[in-house]
């Protein structure tokens, strides 16, 4: 194990703890009120959704437009599981109920992902985008029309068990898993499919297997994100998970940079806060939002971070490099 890697893991872990402690402190002294806290939770959920979509779209290179469908599947599975547990095993602590519901939601979403992925991933590019869009809508329409999901009236009575604390740590865990996954031999195989599927197959990568695997993991985490959403809002309306929701997640991924998890995190923060911050502009809100996106795509079409990850080391290296080049110039 390399010393530098240990150091960078430690630095990142410390940074996460500091951010968490800071947030808790600000909440306790009341600077972050309930409204802000809600926005932060939505940011975290959007991070989960965008990071998981990034695995399918950014790393695997498969453009999918049905991510809200997996989110919906996860949200409803998690919500109904929690309602059931609450009714029969009410003595369980909230965190246990949440974790059990989320794990079941993740597994069911992954199964849905595999079921959709096996036929859909035979297609590429635009065709795949359209077929996943279709599947996403199918999931929504099914939910709208069956009984135990509450249909179009929505599902009520969901235990409100997502809190800032557990959403935060689940997000950290998911981003960590996605990062280590994409930086392992399996991750390299996944990225090689994005780069050139024919070449990947020609060097022995089992393309179908890794495509389905990437897609299933993305679906599973989207389901967990949906579950956290359900337990925070405590009410589910099928129309929240429409096509526009998928597009919103995709916009976060594209803006942050396809193939950059840290990019997705930054973009999720920006794009969740922005519509809220622009509330005072009332009718011009969406106009400004779209305008910003257009500007962004003109000046940085690869997204905020492109395919690279944000790291303290690269900033430090750049700083060092600049300092060295200044010294060199002065000597000359």
Build a one-symbol-per-residue string for 269-308: x at contacts with other proteins by CB under 8 A, - elsewhere. --------------------------------------x-
179 vs 235, beta carbon nearer other proteins = 179
CB-nearer residue toward other proteins: 117 or 150:
117
Site string for other proteins, 147-186 (x = CB under 8 A): ------------------------------x--xx--xxx
Among 32, 53, 102, 191, binds other proteins (CB under 8 A): 191
Which residue do the tokens 């809508």 mark?
A: 137
Number of residues forming the site for other proteins (CB under 8 A): 26
Closest contact distance (angstroms) between CB of 233 and other proteins is: 30
> DSSP label at 280?
G
Q: How far is residue 126's CA from residue 132's CA, in Å, rounded to a whole number?
A: 10
Instruction: Establish if 203 lies at the interface with other proteins (CB under 8 A).
Output: yes
CA-closest candidate to residue 241, choices 72, 108, 79: 72
Contact residue for other proteins among 47, 56, 143, 200 (CB under 8 A): 200
Distances, alpha carbon 167 to alpha carbons 35, 99, 171, 175, 328, in Å: 16, 11, 6, 12, 49
The answer to whether 304 and 255 are in contact (CB under 8 A) is yes
CB 183 within 8 A of CB 191: no
Give the nearer residue to other proteins in terms of CB position, either 153 or 180: 180
Distance CA 56, CA 212 (A): 10
Which residues touch 153 (CB under 8 Å, ≥6 apart)?
A: none
DSSP secondary structure letter of residue 166: H
Nearer CB in complex with other proteins: 184/325: 184
SS3 content of the chain, % helix, strand, coil (to 5): 80, 0, 20
**Sole window of 48-56, 73-81, 188-196, 240-248 interacting with other proteins (rule: CB under 8 A):** 188-196
- Closest CB 197 distance from other proteins, rounded Å: 10
Q: What is the dihedral of CA 78, 80, 81, 87, to 10 degrees?
A: 140
CB 256 within 8 Å of CB 263: yes
Q: Which is nearer to other proteins, 83 or 217 (CB)?
A: 217
Ramachandran angles phi, psi of 236, nearest 5°: -120, 130
| Closest CB to other proteins among residues 63, 177 | 177
- Kindly tell me which of 37 and 307 has the beta carbon lying closer to other proteins: 307
Applying CB under 8 A, the residues found at the interface with other proteins are 1, 177, 180-181, 184-189, 191-192, 195-196, 198-207, 213, 307
């Amino acid at each position: 194990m390399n010393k530098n890697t240990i150091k960078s893991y430690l630095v990142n872990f410390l940074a996460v703890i500091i951010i968490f402690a800071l947030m808790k402190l600000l909440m306790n002294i009341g600077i972050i009120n309930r409204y802000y806290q809600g926005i932060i939770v939505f940011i975290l959920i959007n991070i989960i959704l965008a990071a998981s979509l990034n695995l399918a779209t950014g790393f695997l290179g498969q453009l999918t437009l049905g991510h809200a469908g997996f989110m919906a599947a996860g949200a409803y599975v998690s919500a109904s599981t929690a309602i059931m547990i609450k009714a029969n095993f009410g003595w369980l602590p909230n965190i246990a109920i949440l974790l059990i519901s989320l794990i079941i939601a993740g597994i069911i979403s992954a199964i849905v992902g595999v079921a959709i992925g096996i036929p859909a991933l035979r297609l590429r590019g635009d065709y795949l985008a359209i077929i996943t869009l279709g599947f996403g809508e199918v999931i929504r329409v099914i939910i709208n029309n069956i009984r135990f999901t509450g249909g179009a009236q929505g599902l009520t009575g969901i235990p409100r068990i997502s809190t800032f604390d557990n959403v935060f740590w689940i997000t950290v865990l998911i981003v960590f898993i996605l990062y280590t996954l994409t930086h392992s031999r399996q991750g390299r195989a996944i990225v090689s499919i994005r780069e050139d599927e024919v070449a990947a197959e020609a060097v022995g990568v089992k393309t179908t297997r890794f495509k389905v695997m990437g897609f299933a993991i993305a679906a599973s985490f989207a389901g967990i994100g949906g579950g956290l959403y359900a337990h925070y809002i405590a009410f589910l309306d099928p129309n929240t998970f429409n096509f526009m929701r998928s597009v919103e997640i995709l916009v976060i991924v594209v803006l942050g940079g396809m193939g950059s998890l840290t990019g997705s995190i930054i973009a999720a923060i920006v794009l969740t806060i922005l519509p809220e911050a622009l509330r005072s502009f009332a009718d011009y809100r969406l106009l400004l939002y779209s305008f910003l996106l257009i500007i962004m795509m003109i000046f940085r079409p690869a997204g905020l971070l492109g395919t690279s990850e944000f790291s303290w080391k690269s900033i430090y290296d750049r700083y060092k490099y600049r300092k060295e080049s200044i010294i060199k110039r002065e000597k000359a």
